[in-house]
């Protein structure tokens, strides 16, 4: 990749990130938003836990809550650089900009789509000291290593991912299934060997190191899992209709994230049937790895989220963050915006499937306003499909306007210490 080709997407993402903060100032001066970001407000929610690790290390000092539920790579970088929350936020924008540049070295997308994809509402977590930027960069390095068949880069990036977010439990089966589907049925042993050498070993090393490091710091074995369980993240059947803490303010985008997982599951089932019935292998392992990740997020949200006692239902809080603020969602978007041509039948099918999905999971039949509300999500999906043709300027303008508006709206929720989004 030439420096010129690297710099253009990097600058688009970096200038957007800086411009986002300037936009907060502009809107605040005109009394359109209530607050400006400050060091203290940038350390809200999970960022506060990461900063606690920076200043105190891992410890068990807060009763039934402690910081062992959070992974160490971001705190290590934060501590090493001696940055404040502002500095860490800017560094995250740089990490994110590098991730976009790597993606654009592998996939060709238009400048308008670059803007749309970096203005996704989930990427507000790029602008604060969260792990999303590191996750994007490490994930894109992993995808680059796999595509270039660079084992050293693949191993290093998997190790970085293993210390960034709890994705080892997702990637372990995802890599195994991808390897199996990539080869014919008679090559199972070769698939297992490739999986073990290329992916399983660094995943195991990364996981074991995390367990050892937290044990070394706290004296308690598997403290991450114990803390997650104390917050209610353990297996349980979902309670319908699904909802979330902020209700209609964020339910719509979390429902879209789950629908993306549903579409990914359908694609995986089709590939599995072809592999079993006709011995047909997949031709794009990265795409199917992305399907597996997005499907796993859907099932984790449904099966390992605590029951929300206020409404006695399962909360789908943060589904959009985990699904969409990932390099795997970019791969998914590329597939459905650049590799597909849509007909009227496709639009009708998506409208029908999405409404069945809203009906079953969110009881959208209970009131006409529910039907209208959830079909805002359907309309947004159809807009993305319309943008795939690249023939009209209206869909990208509408999508970009919605994205930026929602990013500002969510960001204000974050810095005003309202319920986590």
pLDDT band at 275 (very low <50, low <70, confident <90, very high): very high
Task: List 314's β-bridge partners, or say none.
Answer: 307
- Establish if 209 belongs to a structural domain: yes
- Out of 180, 204, 231, a domain closes at 231
The verdict on 184 and 244 lying in the same domain is no
- Establish if 404 belongs to a structural domain: no
- Establish if 140 belongs to a structural domain: yes
Give the per-residue pLDDT at 421.
65
The verdict on 209 and 353 lying in the same domain is no
Q: What is the mean pLDDT of residues 302-311?
A: 77
Give the per-residue pLDDT at 2.
62
The verdict on 117 and 15 lying in the same domain is yes
The verdict on 68 and 144 lying in the same domain is yes
The verdict on 79 and 131 lying in the same domain is yes
The verdict on 196 and 251 lying in the same domain is no
**Domain region containing 132:** 1-231
Instruction: Say if residue 122's pLDDT is above 80.
Output: yes
Name which of 219, 216, 233, 212 is nearest 61 in CA terms.
Answer: 219
Q: How many Cβ atoms are within 10 Å of 355's Cβ, its own excluded? A: 16
The verdict on 198 and 236 lying in the same domain is no
The verdict on 345 and 249 lying in the same domain is yes
Instruction: Say if residue 418's pLDDT is above 70.
Output: no
Give the per-residue pLDDT at 146.
97
The verdict on 111 and 165 lying in the same domain is yes
Q: What is the mean pLDDT of residues 73-79?
A: 98
Q: pLDDT for 314-358, tens place per residue? A: 999 899 999 999 999 999 999 999 988 899 999 999 999 999 999
The verdict on 194 and 73 lying in the same domain is yes
The verdict on 226 and 83 lying in the same domain is yes
Q: pLDDT for 1-12, tens place per residue? A: 566 678 999 999
- Out of 189, 214, 231, a domain closes at 231
Q: pLDDT for 93-108, tens place per residue? A: 999 999 999 999 999 9
Q: What is the mean pLDDT of residues 75-102?
A: 98
Task: List 243's β-bridge partners, or say none.
Answer: 315
Total domains in the chain come to 2
- Out of 202, 231, 260, a domain closes at 231
pLDDT band at 179 (very low <50, low <70, confident <90, very high): very high
Instruction: Say if residue 308's pLDDT is above 80.
Output: no
For tokens 């597996």, the residue is: 292
Q: pLDDT for 394-407, tens place per residue? A: 889 999 999 999 99
* Dist CA 320 CA 336 (whole Å): 18
Give percent above pLDDT 70 in the chain: 97
State both tokens at 355: 């409404």
Name which of 337, 316, 330, 266 is nearest 295 in CA terms.
Answer: 266
The verdict on 216 and 276 lying in the same domain is no
Average pLDDT, the chain: 93
SS3 for the chain is CCHHHHHHHHHHHHHHHHHHHHHHHHHHHCCCCCCCCCHHHHCCCHHHHHHHHHHHCCCCCCCCCCHHHCCCHHHHHHHHHCCCHHHHHHHHHHHHHHHHHHHHHHCCCCHHHHHHHHCCHHHHHHCCCCCHHHHHHHHHHHHHHHHCCCHHHHHHHHHHHHCCCCCHHHHHHHHHHHHHHCCCHHHHHHHHHHHHHHHHHHHHHHHHHHHHHHHHHHCCCCHHHHHHHHCCCCCCCCCCCCECCCCHHHHHHHHHHHHHHHHHHHHHHHHHHHHHHHCCCCCCHHHHHHHHHHHHHHHHHHHCCCEECCCCEEECCCHHHHHHCCHHHHHHHHHHHHCCCCCHHHHHHHHHHHHHHHHHHHCHHHCHHHHHHHHHHHHHHHHHHHHCCCCCCHHHHHHHHHHHHHHHHHHHHHHCCCCCC
Q: What is the mean pLDDT of residues 265-279?
A: 97
Give the per-residue pLDDT at 1.
58
């Amino acid at each position: 990749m030439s420096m010129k080709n690297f710099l253009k997407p990097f600058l688009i993402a970096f200038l957007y990130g800086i411009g986002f903060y300037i936009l907060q100032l502009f809107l605040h001066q005109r009394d359109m938003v209530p607050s400006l970001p400050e060091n203290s407000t940038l350390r809200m929610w999970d960022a506060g836990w990461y900063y606690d690790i920076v200043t105190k290390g891992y410890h068990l000092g807060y009763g039934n809550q402690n910081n062992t539920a959070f992974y160490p790579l971001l705190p290590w970088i934060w501590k090493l650089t001696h940055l404040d929350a502002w500095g860490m936020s800017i560094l995250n924008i740089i990490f994110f900009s590098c991730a976009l540049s790597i993606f654009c070295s592998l996939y060709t997308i238009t400048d308008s789509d670059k803007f749309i994809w970096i203005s996704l509402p989930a990427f507000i977590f790029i602008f604060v000291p969260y792990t999303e930027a590191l996750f994007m960069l490490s994930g894109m390095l992993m995808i680059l290593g796999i595509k270039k068949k660079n084992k050293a880069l693949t191993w290093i990036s998997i190790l970085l991912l293993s210390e960034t977010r709890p994705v080892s439990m997702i990637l372990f089966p995802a890599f195994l299934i991808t390897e199996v589907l990539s080869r014919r049925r008679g090559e199972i042993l070769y698939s297992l060997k490739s999986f073990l050498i290329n992916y399983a070993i660094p995943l195991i090393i990364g996981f074991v190191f995390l367990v050892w490091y937290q044990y070394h710091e706290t004296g308690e074995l598997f403290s991450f899992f114990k803390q997650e369980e104390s917050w209610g993240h353990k297996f349980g059947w979902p309670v319908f209709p699904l909802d979330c803490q902020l209700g209609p303010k964020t339910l719509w985008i979390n429902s879209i994230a789950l629908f993306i997982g549903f579409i990914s599951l359908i694609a995986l089932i089709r590939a599995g049937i072809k592999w079993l019935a006709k011995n047909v292998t997949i031709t794009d392992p990265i795409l199917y790895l992305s399907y597996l990740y997005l499907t796993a997020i859907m099932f984790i949200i449904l099966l390992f989220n605590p029951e929300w006692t206020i409404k006695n239902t399962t909360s789908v809080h943060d589904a959009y963050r985990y699904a969409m603020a990932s390099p795997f969602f970019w791969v998914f978007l590329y597939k459905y915006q650049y590799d597909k041509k849509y007909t009227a039948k496709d639009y009708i099918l998506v409208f029908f499937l999405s409404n069945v999905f809203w009906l079953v999971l969110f009881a959208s039949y209970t009131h006409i306003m529910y039907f209208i509300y959830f079909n805002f999500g359907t309309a947004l999906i159809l807009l993305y499909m319309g943008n795939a043709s690249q023939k009209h300027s209206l869909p990208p303008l509408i999508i970009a306007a919605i994205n930026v508006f929602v990013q500002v709206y969510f960001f204000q929720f974050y810095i005003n210490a309202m319920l986590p989004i």
